Structure 1
Amino acid sequence: MQIPLDLAKTVAAVVDEGTLEGAARALHITPSAVSQRIKALEQRLGRVLLVRSKPVQATDAGAAIVRLARQATLLEHEALAEVGLDDDGERLTSIGIAVNADSLATWLLPALAEVAREHPIVFELHREDEEYTTRLLESGQVMAAVTSQATSVPGCVVTPLGTVRYRAVASAEYIERWMPEGVTAGALGRSPRIDFDRRDDMQAAFLRSLRVRSTPPIHYVPASTEFAAAVRLGLGWAMLPAEQTRGTELVELMPERPLDVPLYWQQWNLRSPLLQAVSDAVARAARTVALT
């Protein structure tokens, strides 16, 4: 059985745009034609590919088709460039990458900028917690991810990037107000902390390492730069990597108790020079910022 690539690309367009109407605009066809293509592929495969929600979501079978479409598009772009039919370099390849907020705010962007200067490429970045970025790989939404998961997603290869060391920090004013009798595990368990969002487990993991069972009041600040700013302004304590504490007056609460998080680069297992160029630049950047 063969899967027509035009039908597979239509499925990917619907997932990207979130609606059949959006996919129709992107593909320059009618919504009715989009619906007919999806129906034709579902009938051919005997599988439901899309959940008609808002936005439209891919089923497990649909995710496999989306991955096929993205891989075919990447290889097609590279083949056209190789034979000199890339519209004089004006046709840019889009690569989706899932990345955690701290990496995005510190070391990853210079690596991507390096690749963009040398290659016809644009990036679609998806911000997600490092424990969850591989889900976007599995669904076919991205081609690569910075993740804390060492086990490879099926069809992907893994490259260790190193370990990011996080430390519990707070402002001096915060410590004076909330921990006047000293920084202890009990005081940390009672004093307001800052979480990135409700998936952020970093601060909770640190408390668990101290055998603290209580949950302190929590501020949620879902943006990396503002997250670090909130710590500096004394809203709460939090775990920050060295890149975000360097040059500040933040105080380490327990210097002897860092929290180390290993990071990995996972990408589709394709013979793609462009994807390999991204991987090489990411690995160099990780070494530059001394991810040990």
Structure 2
Amino acid sequence: MLDYASLAALAAVLREGGFERAAAVLGVTPSAVSQRVRALEERLGAVLVVRGQPPAPTEAGAILYAHAERVRLLEGELAAVLPAIGASQPMLRIAVNADSLATWFLPAAARFAERSGALLDLVTEDEGHTARRLRSGEVLAAVTADPVPVQGCRTVPLGAMRYAAVASPGYLRRHFPQGVDAAALAHAPLLRFDRRDGLQARWAQAALGLAGLDAPAHWVPSSQGFVDGALAGLGWGMNPLPLVEEHLRAGRLVELLPGRRLDVALHWQHARLGARLLEALTAEVVAAARASLPQAPAATPPRGERRG
């Protein structure tokens, strides 16, 4: 049998991102946390944690971490009917891309929290990489662009996040006086969310046949910052349509090529636990997504070319 005190220490280290933070959560010393993790490693004959900043699980550590998080969720549910167990308030750790957080996801999260009394630990991650969080056991569910189910998980299609290539009218006049073409696009400063953000290049290829987009870039790692950057004339970028529709109607923003938009298909993947809370969250997320997102994506960027 596993030593669940040691397993809880391992999970806390990985969840909190360090031994000292894990110690604070568990109410023990960092030395005690380290000893518990090391004792578990010695018993299993395997390294479970790569000591670093932050610590990272090995393959064996990820398996145990996922197991510990599932046990924690089930114990939280059990405490609702058997309070004497004394389990903490249940918490679900979920990976969500920034653009979903900024548009449709949070109302679903709020309804779930209100009805269940559970807490959510939301991890922001690019939708092209949230499935990795599931595989490592860091999260119990994720909004992802990957339709292939992670082992032990169920996948539900959500719809598509629709993006528009937008800029301020002044920016468009300065950088595209003769209209938006491949030559001008190659030199016009653009906005990028992070180093994995390839949506602008994908749109340029689809709209103008541009094989590559090596334009100067401003790095803006925020969904609202992306909108504000475009409004300020900092650059052009791909923004979720719900965040810019009002600005487009008011003329504060304009599309580089009106009507040429890009859809990114999203999916909800969650652990096959049979847990009541996870099923309830899934119902809220799927309902919110299908009410808010287009259900027939026109074009999906290839893997690795998605944003926040």
Question: Which of 78, 90, 103 does residue 100 from structure 2 map onto?
Answer: 103
Structure 2 distance, partners of 1:91, 1:9, is 13
Where do residues 34-183 of structure 1 align in structure 2 (5 Å cutoff)? 34-85=33-84, 91-183=88-180
Greater mean deviation of Cα atoms: 19-28 or 6-15: 19-28
Structure 2 distance, partners of 1:163, 1:276, is 22
Structure 2 distance, partners of 1:55, 1:83, is 36
The question of whether the paired residues in 2 share the 8 Å contact of 1:77 and 1:86 is answered with: no
Question: Which of 245, 265, 268 does residue 265 from structure 1 map onto?
Answer: 268
Greater mean deviation of Cα atoms: 101-110 or 41-50: 41-50
The question of whether the paired residues in 2 share the 8 Å contact of 1:8 and 1:68 is answered with: no
Aligned equivalent of 1:22: 21
Specify the code of the residue in structure 1 equivalent to 2:227: A
Q: Deviations over 1:5-40 (max 9, x none)?
A: 222111011112333232222212233322222122
Question: Which of 278, 282, 307 does residue 279 from structure 1 map onto?
Answer: 282
**TM-score, normalised relative to structure 1:** 0.94
Deviation at 1:206, TM superposition (A): 1.5
Structure 2 distance, partners of 1:166, 1:123, is 27
Structure 1 distance, partners of 2:290, 2:21, is 41
Greater mean deviation of Cα atoms: 30-39 or 102-111: 30-39
**Cα separation, partners in 2 of 1:52 and 1:182, compared to 1, 3 Å:** same
Which secondary structure does the structure 2 equivalent of 1:106 belong to? coil
Structure 1 distance, partners of 2:49, 2:291, is 42
Moved over 6 A (4+): none
**TM-score, normalised relative to structure 2:** 0.89
Structure 2 distance, partners of 1:64, 1:110, is 32
Structure 1 distance, partners of 2:186, 2:203, is 10
Specify the code of the residue in structure 2 equivalent to 1:252: E
- The number of residue pairs the alignment matches comes to 289
Structure 1 distance, partners of 2:186, 2:151, is 40
Deviation at 1:84, TM superposition (A): 4.4
The question of whether the paired residues in 1 share the 8 Å contact of 2:11 and 2:69 is answered with: yes
